[in-house]
Every structure is written in C-alpha cells, then in structure tokens.
Amino acid sequence: MTTTHCPYCALQCAMHLERGPDGALAARPADFPTNRGGLCRKGWTSAQVLTAADRLTTPLLRKDRTAGFEEVDWDTALEYAADRVRALQAAHGRDAVAVFGSGGLTNEKSYQLGKFARVALGTSQIDYNGRFCMSSAAAAGNRAFGLDRGLPFPVTDLADADVVVLAGANPAETMPPLMGHLSGARLVVVDPRRSGTAREALRRGGLHLAPRPGTDLALALGLLHAARAEGLLDDAYITERTTGFDAAWRHAAAWWPERTEHVTGVPAHRIREAARLLGTARRAYVLTGRGVEQHANGTDTASAWINLALALGLPGRVGSGYGCLTGQGNGQGGREHGQKADQLPGYRRIDDPAARAHVAAVWGVDPDDLPGPGRSAFELLDALGSAGGPRALLLFGSNPAVSAPDATRMRDRLAALDLLVVADFVLSETAALADVVLPVAQWAEESGTMTNLEGRVLRRRRAAAPPPGVRTDLEVLHGLAVRLGQDPERFPTDPDAVLAELRAASAGGAADYSGVTPQRLEDGEALHWPVPEGGQPTPRLFLDRFAHPDGRARFAPVEHRPPAEDTDADYPLLATTGRLMGHYQSGAQTRRVGELADAEPEVYVEVHPDTAARCGLAGGDRAAVESRRGTTVARVRLRPDARLDTVFLPFHYPGEQAANNLTNPALDPTSRMPEFKVSAVRLRPYADR
C-alpha cells in the first residue's frame, strides 16, 4: 500500500493506493487534515486513469502532417525534436521556441521546466495554464497583502467559522470534502447560477446572491456600502492595519444597495441581509474562486472582495480571514517556481536584478544571459505561428485545444506551428495536432512534491512503475537538454535532486522552500511555506503584519466596469462556464474513467424554461450555442432556478462540444487572465446536417 495524494484538485486529498485481487491499483481515502477521510468521486476512481485503454507507450512522430503518426523509439523522437528546435532558433532567434506548462505539474517539474526554458533554450517564451486559473487573485493578493498564498491559514481553521462568503466558488461540486470544514457555518454564496453550493447554503439557512455575470465587483462594492451604513466596519483595524481605505471608499460610496440591485439584479434587501450576516459574525471568512477571477477586470474584482474583508477586519486574524480557493492540483506551487512568464523560482520577479543574480548563481549561468519576461499564456498561444511569434511549442501537462479561450482559434494557432511537441499520457486533443508526442508517466508512477491550496507542501509518492516505454517529464527534459548541448548533470532526473536545487533557488524568496526536506515531508510535518532552512513552517500568515514594507494591508480603489462583451440584439444571452463534480479541467483524464464518463457523457447547456421556449428549445433537445467566436453543440437542460438572461455550460468536452469555442479572450490588464465567465451568446435548435 502506498499513501499519496489525489491527482486532481488543489485540496490534494490523501489516499491509499492498493492492488486489488485483479492486480489493478485502487484508491481509498486516507486520513489527512484537508479531507479527513473523504474523497470525491473523482478521487475514488482516480487509479483507473493509470490503465486507460488508449495509454501511449511509444513516442509518436509525424514528419508530414498530412500523414499519420508513426511509432518511433525515444532517441529518434528526441533527436528529431532537438534538431528542429536548433534549426528554428538558428533561423529565427531564441524566442522562436516556446514552452507551455501546467498547474498540474509537481513542484520539481515546474521548476525544471522554467530552468529548461531559460537555460537550455534561452527563450523568454514560457507560461502555463495556471494563468487561466488563479492569476487574478494572485495579483490582487500581492496588491493587498504583499504576498499571495491561496489560503493564508490552514483549511481546518474554517471549521470554527460562523459565516463564510463563497464568491464565485462551488466547492460542493468541485472539491466536496472542503464542505466538511464549512458544516458549522452559515454560507453566503455568490454565483449567477444555483450551484450545488448555493443549494446547500439555502438548505442551511444561508443566502444565495445571483448577480448578473460580470457584475461581481459591483456587488462587492454594494456589500461594503451596506456594511458601512449598518455601522459594521472595524474602524480600529482599518486605522491600525491598513492603508488606502478612503480612496477605496470613494468608489464604494456610490454603490448604495438599490443602485447595486439595478446593476447586479441582486435584491437590495438581500444585499443588506448578507452584509449584516457577515458583519455581525464573530468569526467570518471571505473566500473567492474562479467566478470572481475569470474576467477582464478579474484582479479588480478580487480586490473588491478583499476590500470588503479588510473593512470588516478579517484578514490576519485567527479564526477569520480572506482566501482564494486555488483550482488545479499544484495551482499554488505551479506559480512559485519559475514557469510563469514573469517569474523566477521563489516567487521572484524576473525583472528584479537581485532575483536574477540569485537564481543565475544557483543555475551556474551569467544573469545577463537570462531572458526577460515573455508573453502571458493566451498571448503566447495566440502568437504561435504568426509573424514574430514562436514557431515551435513544447507543451507539458496541458490541453489548450480544449481548455484555452476561443478554442477554435487556439486549434488554428497550434496547427500553424512549424513544430509542436506534446508530452502526455494519451493522445489528447492537443497531442493529436502535434508533430512529436512523448508518452509520459502519470501521478502515481513518479514521486515529487505538490503544494496545496493552503501552501502546504506534500509528498507525492510512486505506487507503481510506469508502463514499459514510458518516461517521466524530468527524463524528457533531461533528454532534450542533453541533445541541446547541456551538461547532463544540470538537468537531473531524480525528483529529490531537483528539490534540493529548488530549495536553494527559492531560499530568501517570498515562497521560501529552503527548509522543505524529504525527511521532514516523510515525517509528516505540516510544511506551509515559507519554510526557511532549519526554520519553522508558517501555517498562518499576516497575524502580526502584512508583507508590505510598512506591515499594513492596502485597500485598492476599484470601480465596476461592464464585461468586455455584453448582450445585444444578435447575442441576447450571457454564457458562463464551470466544472462538474465528475470531471476535471479539459476532461483528458476523467473522460477516460468509465463511470465518470457514463455519468456525464456530453456537454449540456442549462437554460431557464422560459428562455428555452423563446429559443424554440425543449429539455433534451440539442442546441447550437453561438457566440461571436464559435459554436458549441449542447444538450438542453431546463433549470427553473436559472437566471432568465444566463446560460451555463461545463467546459470538459472537446471539439464541437467545447464550451471554450464560445469564450472571450479579453484579458485582465494586470493578471492577463481571459474573461472565461462572460460571453454573449444566442441559442437555436441544432439539426445534424
């Protein structure tokens, strides 16, 4: 039996993996603070992904895209990829080759990928899919607190809360064991949709506030206004622990509840009720998720919710606080070790000379040779194959043909490349477009570390050998680096050797892992970063001071802006997207688990019955959902509790079922996160032609 952690979301539930009578591994829950002996259905069935019927065990090569793949040996595949990379860089410069990573990769792989890009390739063109997931809350957290860690407190602290606001988060369906920590709290759920979490809130006497998509920021301003009108702000905390309240208030002052109702659709009396509930609670938390972030004003929207929490005196207190529910399994660690376009390991800025000098010394290179910041995820993908853009892409742990916004355009960009190399365990929708496909090991076939939503570093343990012919991502990076002329020692394949280097590279940075040793992990220490060398971990941040030089948190003066795309006569409805309990991200893993695929085999669109009738649709019909960018063909599900102006689609399906065929890549100016959550659409009956 091997004890490890779930391959999916950021709760990183602990599980035992054990072989059954048929010889196959099966998962069962292990006792651990985040999941306390629970798993969701994805976790229970996760071992089945290891034996997916279409698992790749041989590299695939296609020299002519009009022909099919041929199976080749590893030397042939790696030589071909390295030769093409060298030729493209010789002809077009270093930045002609780009790298795309993932918030699902271990800390060691995230670190090695960033180093590979900057040292072996010398390219500035690296970013990762976490840009689509958490970057707005990260930017807002850095702005407010001087430091971003999803939950700056252990998840177990939530168990003592009296009231919890869940803004744009649906943990009842996306990370169900988290709900066990919230069982004593009244919930205020903010979501345009009557989600599973919203239903749970109402069942327990809480509130569901359903704003029009794209008006979450206005709602947060309205709540702040109502809280002040009720005399609920913590004036002493604002004076002693924060700066900038007056400037922030100048914006909120105009958002009295009736005006907020006019813009958001949330009744004024509900806004006052929610403000009262939150403002009178002894212990309260404001938690945000992707619904708040995935907007063209996502950073400001997250800031508006942080402003509310600060005005009520919640952050930096035991038993209260603000936190962001990170989505991907290593969404936290993935953004700390250098696979972001603008960062180096230790959560350091790549344009900071001191950071460059420190990391260059660990890597044994000249700081002047390190590239500067590159393009953000969508901008990088959108530039592929264009004049001045990357001509080759090396992609690890991601499936942007399904998961990137404006997915039809993304598939065209990927197809426009001179070289696409994809490391994956199956022929994903993105791998199917590649020139070289490298079959790699999965979560339970390799070891490493992950960092969960509370900044706790965890040990991922190997429970089985990969199938013959399969290599780890670290072995792939080693093989490519050596063929690109690097010293083999510089790109080790042993995860603990990479961790040792990561510790040195992160030392002294905001996310300091220098005290994270394999022994401490094996001993079961709760290693919430920062963990300085020989020092203690930090389960709770900000209790004495925030991370800005003056020790104070900063209010951000933010104002509501309408979404980048609003409804009009041609596109009279708003579409929003999200996750299902039984699927994860692009579905590349969960669509290969029989019972998960059977439970939710196809995309659907949730529609109010009156809206459906106006579009000539009935429940069970197939609808063409059309935006200015593309079409998704989806089965109609009628929901009497849906907003009349809003439809919802899950985003786990490929091709004509991809919800991201609709989504708008309008970017937040700070985080560069696309506006996944608001697209203007229309619906019509779909007939197979």
Binding stretches for ligand SF4 (CB under 6 A): 6, 8-9, 11-13, 35, 39-40, 42-43, 175-177
Closer residue to ligand SF4 in complex, CB, 60/175: 175
Residue 171 Cβ, how far from ligand SF4 at the closest point, in Å?
A: 8
> Shortest approach of ligand SF4 to residue 187 CB, angstroms?
18
Residues whose CB falls within 8 Å of the CB of residue 464, separated by 6 or more in sequence, listed in order: 17, 25, 50, 444, 445
Pick 257 or 291: Cβ nearer ligand SF4: 291
| Rounded Cα gap, residues 602 and 535, in angstroms | 50
Least gap, CB of 533 to ligand SF4 (angstroms): 30
Q: How far is the CB of 580 from ligand SF4 (least distance, A)?
A: 11
Q: Which is nearer to ligand SF4, 11 or 219 (CB)?
A: 11
CB atoms within 10 A of CB 36: 16
Q: Which residue is nearest to ligand SF4 (CB)?
A: 43
Taken as a whole, the chain contains a residue count of 689
**Coil, strand or helix: which one is 394?**
strand
Of the pair 212, 579, the CB lying nearest ligand SF4 is at: 579
- Contact in structure between 419 and 121 (CB atoms under 8 Å): no
Q: How far is the CB of 39 from ligand SF4 (least distance, A)?
A: 4
Report the largest interatomic distance among the alpha carbons of the chain, rounded to a whole angstrom: 71
What is the rounded CA–CA span in Å between residue 103 and residue 234? 37
Q: In whole angstroms, how close is the CB of 444 to ligand SF4 at the nearest point?
A: 13
Residue 141 tokens, joined: 């957290």
- Closest among 647, 609, 644 to 625, alpha carbons compared: 647
Q: Minimum Å distance from CB 289 to ligand SF4?
A: 13
Whether the upstream peptide bond of residue 650 has omega within 30° of 0, thus cis, is no
8 Å CB contact between 625 and 634: yes
- The H-or-E segment that residue 140 falls in is helix 135-145
Q: How far is the CB of 177 from ligand SF4 (least distance, A)?
A: 5
* Assigned token pair, 666: 């309008």
Half-sphere exposure of 146 (CA within 13 A, CB side): 17
Q: Report the candidate in 318, 346, 390, 362 with the shortest Cα–Cα distance to residue 123.
A: 390
Give whichever of 11 and 209 is closer to ligand SF4, judged by the CB atom: 11
Quick one: 173 or 424, whose CB is closer to ligand SF4?
173
Please report how close the Cβ of residue 448 comes to ligand SF4 at its closest, in angstroms.
16
Q: What's phi and psi for 221, nearest 5 deg?
A: -65, -40
Distance CA 77, CA 70 (A): 10
The closest of 373, 368, 374 to 353, measured between CA atoms, is 368
Considering beta carbons, is residue 223 or 453 the nearer one to ligand SF4? 453
Q: Return all residues near 476 (Cβ < 8 A) that are at least 6 apart.
A: 78, 396, 423, 438, 440
Between 11 and 221, whose beta carbon lies closer to ligand SF4? 11
Closest distance between ligand SF4 and the C-beta of residue 115, in Å? Answer: 28
Nearer to ligand SF4 by C-beta: 28 or 637? 28
Q: Are 403 and 129 in contact (CB under 8 A)?
A: yes
Tell the smallest beta-carbon distance from residue 455 to ligand SF4 (Å).
16
Half-sphere exposure for 520 (CA within 13 Å, toward CB): 21
Distances from the Cα of 385 to the Cα of 388, 389, 392, angstroms: 8, 6, 8
Residue whose CB is less far from ligand SF4, 15 or 636: 15
